[in-house]
Every structure is written in C-alpha cells, then in structure tokens.
Structure 1
C-alpha cells in the first residue's frame, strides 16, 4: 500500500504508522529492538529538540542513541556530522571546527566545549515534518585524512536516495530481507548502506555491535555486509561460516577481498560473495549483481545511472582490454556536492567535462567488468619502466599457504625508480628461505618484473577502522 509522497527514509512513513502498519523488528542494536512506530516516535522527539539547528555532531557509537540522533536529524532536515568514537583530540577538534557543528546530539566526549543535546530513549512525538528538499545536505562525512587533514564530504539527500535505489536494483534488495552487519556508523558502508538502506527499503536491520563470526552466524539474516577482515575471520571458523549459507547475499566492501577468502567463503556457504566499489565522495558506483557473474578480484559493472572511464597520465583514454591500467573516473546521480570549505580540493578532483577523479587505478574488460588496482598514489608502482598494480602481486602472495596477510608497496630506488617490497604477515615462522620461496612463487604466477625485490616479515599490518591497510605507514 502506498502512503503518500516518497521519503528518504521511505519505510518510516508516519501515515503508515498511523494506519497501524508496523514493522515489529525494524531495528536491533546494542541489545535493543525497536519497532517502526517506536523508531519513528523516538526519532521525531529528537527532531523536535534540534529542528532549529543547521548542523550537529553525533558521536557515532553503535547504539540506539546514535540511530535516533541520525534519524531525528534526517526527519528535521538538520545536517549530521558523524564523528568516529576513536578519533583523537586533534582530529575531533578539526571536524568540529571545520564543520561548524553547533552542538553534540546524544553522547559527547569528555571535556567538550560544545553544548550537548540529550537523546531520550523513551520520549515519543508524532509531530510531522515536511520532507526536506533533495538538494539539502544530509551528511558531512570526513575522509580518513591520509593525504592531509580530513576533508568534509557533503552528501545530499537526493544523492543518497539515488545511490541506495541503485543498490536495491543491483542486489534485488526488498522489505523481505533482514540485513545483518557490525560495521562502524560513521562511514558510507555502515551508516548509509547499513542503516539508511534498510530504513529506505523497509527491511529489518540487525547491528551486531562487533562483527564477530559468532554474532553473524547467530543473527539469521538474509543479507550480510562485511569488510575483508570480517570475512577472513569467518572462513577461519567453518562451522559458523556454513550458517551463513542460509543467507541470500553476502556483500564485501571497503577494501579488496583476497581471492583465497573469496574462494573459501564460496566453498563454505555455497555462494560467491558480492563485491562492490565506492568511496565517501561517490557512494557505491560499481557492483556485481544478485543475478550476475561474480569473479574474485573484480567489482562488477556500473550500477544504475553511473558511467565510468579510464584515463592515463596525459588524459588519454585507456583501452578496456582487462589488462591496461588507468585512472578511474566516474559520474552519476549519487556523487557528492563537494568538500566543505575546500573549493580548491573540489575543483582539483573534477575534470573540466564533469567527471570525478577517484584517485584509484583500475582495469576494465570488454564486458565492462572492473578490477580496482588500488590508489594511484600508493598502489600503482612504476618500476624499471613498467606500470605494475600492487593488488595483483598481493593476490598472488595470498595464494601461498604460508601467507596470512600481505601489503605490497613501491619504495624509492635509485636504479628502478621504485622497487617492489612485500610486507608479509606469515602464518608460522618466517625465514630467509620463505622470502626466497615467496619471490619465486610470484615469478611463477606473474611476469618476472612483478616479483618483489624485497620481502619483509611483520606481525601485523596497520589498518584503519574499516579494515583498510594504511600503506603510507609502511616503509
């Protein structure tokens, strides 16, 4: 049944709630389950308290208060500034100062100078608000700051709706699904896809707090989101992984899924995972499909409304032959509105003819399938006159049984320009013999010039909250 004009959070329609059309398990998080009517009533109470604000900061812990804060802002048309709970003092102060947040909504860190507006879990309001304009900014998401101070990515309501609807179509996502994930609520993956997606579609969502294999197996969902480290841990516990075979789709993102993990997950669950590609500035622009081919190491084709192209360093087109590497550029209705207070950075990242430079390098094959090689600044290695993608070397190394984790970088070299160095987390003891064996292994799998010149064994790889390896810390 239709209940009036479309809303960004379409399932939270007050007319539907007034008609008694409830969803008893709309949200489960932090040990609490809220129905659609409870979620709408509590979030509307939040909206009443902050409706005159322009921007508020939300300490994005995986709690009911965080969800109510975010939804209340979206109802009232107030821009949300999610702040990572583990952000350092300098990073947090930069986010607050740059965003112009006027208050904390819900929980606030100690020592804050901003006013704090509490979120009351048991308050209810049935006031109705007009749907804000699609062009209004819903979120300012801050980038990881790997190349300087974090930049505020402005995402409009219309862009979010377009991005979610494209995934609904690609993944055949319906109200009959139950989404399960334990991802952070301050990035696109966990916050927009993992919270707003279900609230738009009308599918219940279970947030597990931490994305442990035990929590995922016990949740009993039909649709699961995870990052590669989550899936890696799940396949290490086969009895729990098999429980996920009851699901309809397993989706991996935020970093490349190693081929051995892809293969093992498919073996244990009976289905190959969905891989997709996106970033804060673009949301999800590429994905394999629920009804399509899924290849390890490939992130599929453009979702509805998206166009892509590859360009070399001179701006010339790169052939779609599945081998040639080029800078990935995209355009589509789900892209951001620019960086807050940074017109220089915004202009730098857009071409004159309206394409966004992602900063990633990729290959595209004749069928339009995309494989992401990595970041142009750190994953495209120029060694001895060759252009080499770090990702394919990492994939080859992960195929060796002695390798648990690996990151490949290009370090400065007087002779080669850059030399290929592999940082390896071994499954057992490391040795000089193993280093030679791994180098030989890569040479047997790939071209000789792609062999690592050096193998360094480490206990762990530096990662951020989304599981992405921080290669700039490897040297």
Structure 2
C-alpha cells in the first residue's frame, strides 16, 4: 500500500485552478464534464463556474435542484469555489420532505437549470438559473476557504425520522477522494462513466467531484442504460460507477449482448457501492467479461471508509480494507468493547474515525453527540465481520439486519447472498421476527424466478443450511412480485410486513 499524502489546501480542483490561470494552456482544453451531447472543458468550466461563484459568494447557503444535468455539476463546483455550503435537493422528494429540508437548512437561494419547474416548497426562495451555454471570462475565485469550512449539507434518508442534514467539510471531500485515488490508482488519465443521481455522496462527490479533483473527466449518462455504458466504455471511458441494481441489469443483459461484454472487458475498474452487490451478479459479470467488480463502503456521514484496492484481491461479498487515513473497529453490543477476532464469523458494529467524517448534523447537537462514542468513534450502525486478512464483510444494519436467533448473532446479508445463489430466487431479503423458542426466527422474502413454481421453505432452508450453517436457515418464506426499494436501489425492509 502506498503512503497517502493528504492535501488539505483550500484548492479542491488543481486542474480547474490551472485552467483559470492559463486559459490558453493545454490543461484548459482537457475535457471535464459531459452530459449527453453537452460538455465543458476545464477552461470552459472555469469560465462558467467562477462568475457564478462570485455571484453566490455572499449567499450564506444555497440549494441546488440536483437533476442529472450539466447545470447541477456547474452549480456545485461554483459553490465550492465560493466557499458557500450547497444543499443538493432530490427532485423526487415529496413536498413535506422538501419543506423540512428547506426549513432546516435555510438556504437563501436555489440554483436550477433554466426552464426547470420547481415545486411550491421552493417558491419562497430566490431563484438563480445556471447558464452553461455562453461561458464568460474566468474570474478569480472569491477567497480561500479553510479545510473545515462546510462544503455540502447532504440529507440522510430519514428512515428513523425526518431527514438529518450531514454537514460535510471540504477536508472530508479532499481526504476521501485522495484516499480513493490511492486505493484505485485513480489519475487524471481516467475517464469515468456513470448514471447515478447527483443529490448524494456516490453520484455527486465520487462521481462528479472525484474526476475533477484528479484532473480527469466524467461522462454522465443522464439516465442509466446498458447501451450507454457499452458506448462510453467502447469510446475511451476507463471506469464505471454503479449501484447493485445497475450491475444486476448488466448481468441480466450480458448473455444476449456481446458488445456490452466486450466494452466491460476494456474497463480498468468497475466499482459498485451504496448497497451490497449479490455474489451471483459478481460471478455472472466476471464469467462474461473477465473483469471483477470491486466494492467500497461508505455513508453520508463518513464518505468512504473501506474499499477493495485496484491492486488487491477483488473478493466478491467484501468491501475490502480500510482506506488510508481511516481507522475502523468492530464493537460488541455495548458499543465500546472491541471485537478482536479476525475469523470471518464474529459480528460487531462498525465504528470509524478519521478525516473523512462529517462535522455535525445541522441543528441537531443531541443527534450529533449520540452518533459518536466518548473517544470520537462514529457509530455507523452497520454490522460486519472481518476475515483473517482484514477484509471487511458487511452483514447488515444493526437496526434491521442483526437477527438474534437461538443464541447466535446472525447478519441478514450473508443469508440473502446464499438465497440468491438458488436458481429459483430472483431477489431476496431477510428479516427477523419474534419467536418464543428462538428469540427471533429468520424470515425470507423472495421474488421467485418463476412465479408459477416458487421454491418452498424446506428447499430454501436446506439450501442455506448447506452453504452457511443450520442455525442460519430461514424458518418462514414469503413470496413477492417485487421488493420495495428506494431511489438508490436499497431494499426498504421496514416496508416488508405481513398479515
């Protein structure tokens, strides 16, 4: 592992600064952003974003209507150049959620693409349209923000109450992106393709700001399509970022699409995140392309914590090792006693410490305090085991995926992976429910491959018992047409109920 040199200077985008300083230099003509048939070089991005930065420099906080467009990328870059916190807004959010976020974050204006119709929840905000069609002369960036200056306020999913605004400082963005550059051998020669939304960490920070920090380029598909992935990887893109639902669609398409298989085989790096990628999708993609998808692990409050390294073993079902600069430990249920075992079996809660962490939950000092231990570790709520070589395998969320059955602590994630290896299972989720004898019994929620002939509970129980252990077998099976998922493709287990 190479040593990591953390650059905590105020300059998040050296290539953009270079293009500002020398508009006629070769760096200014390098491609930076492309959305469909619209694109900006580094010189054009500087000439577009820096005047916008000057306009918003005194704005306090700004909201960004985060559609998957060139305007969103320019708006966020401008806010970062100005040292003004940006609040990315999910265009699919409902009125009450948007109203809560606007009230909580109190932006003074909202940036949006021209012609975009904004919802009533934003009506009271001053609106500023982003014009990318006619870049003007680049202006000096206003000021040099401190590394601890808030860069983004990203709202969590709100599964346990109203969404909370995680205040992400510039320091966290810089250190996460530099740690990923070390882990993934990410350079300015890389061209990233993705089709992720731009209101969260994965799509915005990794997918847009990551290439810009490296001096490389990003090609955003606007909307994920396997044809778009094949086209861009065939035309010089080197990296693909996606979530499991995207890679599942790729795996399903590969048998009938040799062009897609050929394009994926050319990629330098295929990265999945935001949820666990089922092992059977890993294997199908590897068999068809010769390339293995690697996974990384992060969350809004911590940005990235671990990853399989580009020069490491791309082991399916794991999220690799801690990134440079990140401390990671597993703890017992008391939240303080460390799990020392590296045996691939002992489950503990992941806690992390490092410069990648957020500063606070906006306006919620009690929630912020509760999220950290007394000695400064952030409680992720994710449960994991560690293999003998330090690879981390996440087995689920503490709140929804830790099942205590028959005296064992069992992670739902490993059972879900085992179920997905059964040919009769298309999708799977696992939960626990009260049981007078076991404490909790394991419940499987299955979307069968053939709805007319779904696998039985005994068949699935035997299948899991053979692969894992008898105490991990499901005792109840429910058959569904589809699993409830959010915008990122994560299964919403709280919506899984039965009569």
TM-score range, shorter chain: over 0.9
- Residue 119 of structure 1 corresponds to which residue in structure 2? 130
Which range is displaced more, 148-157 or 378-387? 378-387
Residue 65 of structure 1 and its aligned partner are, at CA, apart by: 1.3
Residue 64 of structure 1 and its aligned partner are, at CA, apart by: 1.4
- Residue 308 of structure 1 corresponds to which residue in structure 2? 328
Deviations along 1:141-196, whole A, 9 cap, x unmatched?
Answer: 00000111100001111111001000000000011110000001011100000000
SS state of the match for residue 462, structure 1?
coil
Matched ranges for 1:13-412 at <5 A: 13=17, 14-17=20-23, 19-107=25-113, 109-111=118-120, 112-121=123-132, 122-129=134-141, 130-220=143-233, 221-238=237-254, 239=258, 240-314=260-334, 315-318=336-339, 319-412=341-434
TM-score by length of 2: 0.92
- Cα distance in 2 between the residues matched to 1:460 and 1:153: 31
Residue 241 of structure 1 and its aligned partner are, at CA, apart by: 3.1
Residue 33 of structure 1 and its aligned partner are, at CA, apart by: 1.3
Q: Give yes or no for contact 1:235–1:241 (8 Å, CA) kept in 2.
A: no
Which ranges of structure 2 fall in alignment gaps of 5 or more residues? 1-8
- Residue 4 of structure 2 corresponds to which residue in structure 1? none
Change in 2 beyond 3 A, CA 1:432/1:464: closer
SS state of the match for residue 341, structure 1?
coil
- Cα distance in 1 between the residues matched to 2:305 and 2:201: 12
Residue 119 of structure 1 and its aligned partner are, at CA, apart by: 1.1
- Cα distance in 2 between the residues matched to 1:395 and 1:309: 24
Question: After TM superposition, where is structure 1 displaced by more than 4 Å over at least 4 residues in a row?
Answer: 430-433
Residue 23 of structure 1 and its aligned partner are, at CA, apart by: 3.5
Deviations along 1:8-39, whole A, 9 cap, x unmatched?
Answer: 02221112435453244211014311111111
SS state of the match for residue 219, structure 1?
helix
Q: Give yes or no for contact 2:425–2:455 (8 Å, CA) kept in 1.
A: no
TM-score by length of 1: 0.96
Which range is displaced more, 79-88 or 115-124? 115-124
Q: 1:458 pairs with 464, 475, 480, which one? A: 480
- Cα distance in 1 between the residues matched to 2:479 and 2:455: 12
Q: Give yes or no for contact 1:30–1:64 (8 Å, CA) kept in 2.
A: no
2:468 aligned with 1:446: yes
Which range is displaced more, 405-414 or 184-193? 405-414
- Cα distance in 1 between the residues matched to 2:111 and 2:283: 43
Counting matched residue pairs gives 471
Q: Give yes or no for contact 1:57–1:80 (8 Å, CA) kept in 2.
A: yes
- Cα distance in 1 between the residues matched to 2:151 and 2:24: 26
SS state of the match for residue 126, structure 1?
coil
- Cα distance in 2 between the residues matched to 1:288 and 1:36: 30
Deviations along 1:216-254, whole A, 9 cap, x unmatched?
Answer: 111121011010111110111222133211010000100
Deviations along 1:237-291, whole A, 9 cap, x unmatched?
Answer: 2221332110100001000010011111111221211111000011111001011
Change in 2 beyond 3 A, CA 1:264/1:97: same
Q: Give yes or no for contact 2:62–2:111 (8 Å, CA) kept in 1.
A: yes
Which range is displaced more, 166-175 or 459-468? 459-468
- Residue 450 of structure 2 corresponds to which residue in structure 1? 428
SS state of the match for residue 31, structure 2?
coil
Deviations along 1:406-433, whole A, 9 cap, x unmatched?
Answer: 1101123333322211111111125475
- Cα distance in 2 between the residues matched to 1:298 and 1:333: 23
